[in-house]
Amino acid sequence: MDGIKNIVVTDKSILLLLKNQYTSNVESGSTRTEIKHWVELFFGVKVIAMNSHRLPVKGRRMGHTMHYKRMIITVQPGYSIPPLIKKEKKRT
């Protein structure tokens, strides 16, 4: 799972969950087939469609590119991807 950086939690991504669509940031060098293979293998789901786009750069920096792109993954009805939540350690 080196290609997937993190899961995106925004208002739009939460609404997409109702349509079995999951949003995540992936490495910019990763291809759609690699991401599809990783998701199907790691989560045991069937991927129907994938959409990707590069996020716009904030500001006007010439020659600056993002090191990741956003991927919206649609899984087959009946399948779901469990949430990836890191639990914080309690301080004692």
| CATH pick for 4-75 out of 3.30.70.330, 3.40.190.80, 1.10.8.60, 3.30.70.1110 | 3.30.70.330
Q: Where is pLDDT greater, at 70 or 63?
A: 70
Q: What's the rounded Cα separation, in Å, for the pair 83 and 78?
A: 16
Output the pLDDT for position 63: 66
SS3 51: strand
Spell out the domain ranges in the chain: 4-75
Model confidence over 21-51: pLDDT tens digits? Answer: 999 888 888 888 888 998 889 889 999 999 9
Distance CA 15, CA 42 (A): 24
Give pTM, 2 decimals.
0.76
